[in-house]
Every structure is written in C-alpha cells, then in structure tokens.
Amino acid sequence: MTHRYLNFIGIIIGSLLLNFSINVSAMPISQQSLIQQTAADIVKRSLTPSDFGNVNITAATLDSRLQFSTCSSPLVATIPGKQNLSGNVTVLVRCNSENWQLYVPVNVQQTLPQVIATTHLGRGALLSHANVKIAMVESRFQRGVSFNDPQQLIGSKVKRTIKVGDVIQANDICLVCRNDSILIRAGQTGLAIVTTGKALSDGAIGDEIRVQNSKSKRIIDGVITAVGEVSVKY
C-alpha cells in the first residue's frame, strides 16, 4: 500500500515539474531576442556618434521564466528618466497590443583613444614618445580634458605625479610652466626679435599667458607656440 502511495505521489510531482518546465519555456526565444534588440536599438539611436572610438551595446539576457504573449504590434522602447548613456542603462520595452511591459538592463561601453603614461612620471618629468602611448579607454572613467594624439603634449612638463596607465589630462601638464625660463619671440613673419623671459603662469599650446622680459622687466601677454616659447605681437 505504501509503495503504491509513493508511486502515486511521484506521478503527481512529475506532472507538476513537467507543467513548470512547459511554463518556463513558454516565452519564445525569438520574442526574447526581439525585446533585447529593441532595447539595444533605442540606446544606439540615442547616443551621439563619436568621430573616433568604439561603442559596444549589449542588452542583458532575459530570465527565461518570464512569460509574455507574442506581441502583435511593434514593440515600443523608451529610456525613462534622465540617464547617462554609459555604463548600465535601463530601457522600458512595451507591447501596447498585448498590454505588457518590461524593464531591460543595457550595458553601454564606449572606448576612446587616449594618451596614457607608460611609466611612473614624477613632477618635473618631460613627456616624450618613450613614456606615453595611445590606449583605448572607457569614456565614462574620463574626467577633464585629455588628449588623443601624443604629438599634442610631447615636450610638456609634468606638474603632478602620473601613475603608469593613467590618462594624461591637461591639468597634469604644462607646455610652459610658471617660473620657467622661456624664449619670447616678438614681431611679424619675416622679422622677429628673440629675447628671454620668465613665465608667470602655466599654459598649453595656444594659451595666452603673462610673461616677464628678462632685460626690461616689462610684463606682457604672449601666446604659447611651442615648448618653452611664447610669441607676442608689437
């Protein structure tokens, strides 16, 4: 009697498990793929394309136990709230005809070419092709002004310690640094007077800084044109 009872219980449990298995697979794979693609597409369309760099957009794999009827109308996707379109983004996917909706996590990884340090750089170190290189860096980790061409900062002096692998930012370096001895070029094309001076502030190419003429002690404004060089007009 006990053996027959246990067999009966086993049949009931087996039936329940079979029914659960059918329900788990009730959501078609094609429907999952469509939801994921819809979520990824809205993020891709919302991103401002970059002139350089790479973007990888991946919608999260959906829980196969979720049950949604096949949508007879086009899926509608929106990005709720004011989200930063980097890292993890939440997308709302709706089916208006079948009256269901689902929040889908989408991962956005945007990498950009950036100049990084290949060695430890202490204060006062000069940047050269030997201690910098280009690397693809995820944009969401970037702060401040950075560079995508080593030539933009070769010859610059380091103002603060830069660790190996750090992205070199504009406030880390100066092409002309305060109190540096500099060349002052004054005049127009074809006729220029060159003298020496002292920089009274930091700057990069194209920046206008205050400099002091070593001979006259006069303080004037000049534009940085090269490493240790400022041009002024008269």
- pLDDT in the model for residue 192: 74
Q: Give me the architecture of the 111-174 domain, per CATH.
A: Alpha-Beta Complex (3.90)
Q: What residues does each domain of the chain span?
A: 23-110, 111-174, 181-232
Cα 13 from Cα 17, distance rounded (Å): 6
Q: Are 184 and 218 in contact (CB under 8 A)?
A: no
Q: Are 96 and 111 in contact (CB under 8 A)?
A: no
Closest among 176, 177, 216 to 196, alpha carbons compared:
216
Confidence of residue 69 (pLDDT cuts 50, 70, 90): confident
CA dihedral 187, 189, 190, 195 (to 10 degrees): 30
- pLDDT in the model for residue 188: 65
Sequence-distant (≥ 6) Cβ neighbours of residue 180 within 8 angstroms: 157, 198, 199, 228
pTM higher than 0.85: no
User: Taking the chain, what is the end-to-end CA distance rounded to the nearest angstrom?
Assistant: 113
The CA R_g of the chain, rounded to the nearest whole Å, is 31
- 161 pLDDT exceeds 90? yes
Least confident of 4-8, 146-150, 187-191, 208-212: 4-8
Closest among 104, 69, 74 to 89, alpha carbons compared:
104
pLDDT mean over 4-14: 43
Compute φ and ψ for 141, nearest 5 degrees: -95, 5
Structure tokens that stand for 96 in this block = 């208006």
Confidence of residue 190 (pLDDT cuts 50, 70, 90): low
Structure tokens that stand for 178 in this block = 């305060």
Residue 132: burial class (beta carbons within 10 Å; 0-12, 13-18, 19+)? buried
Q: Which long-range contacts (CB under 8 A, 24 or more apart) does 10-15 make?
A: none
- 165 pLDDT exceeds 50? yes
Residue type for 66, please?
A: L
pLDDT mean over 47-68: 83
CATH 2.60.40.2220 fits 181-232, yes or no: no
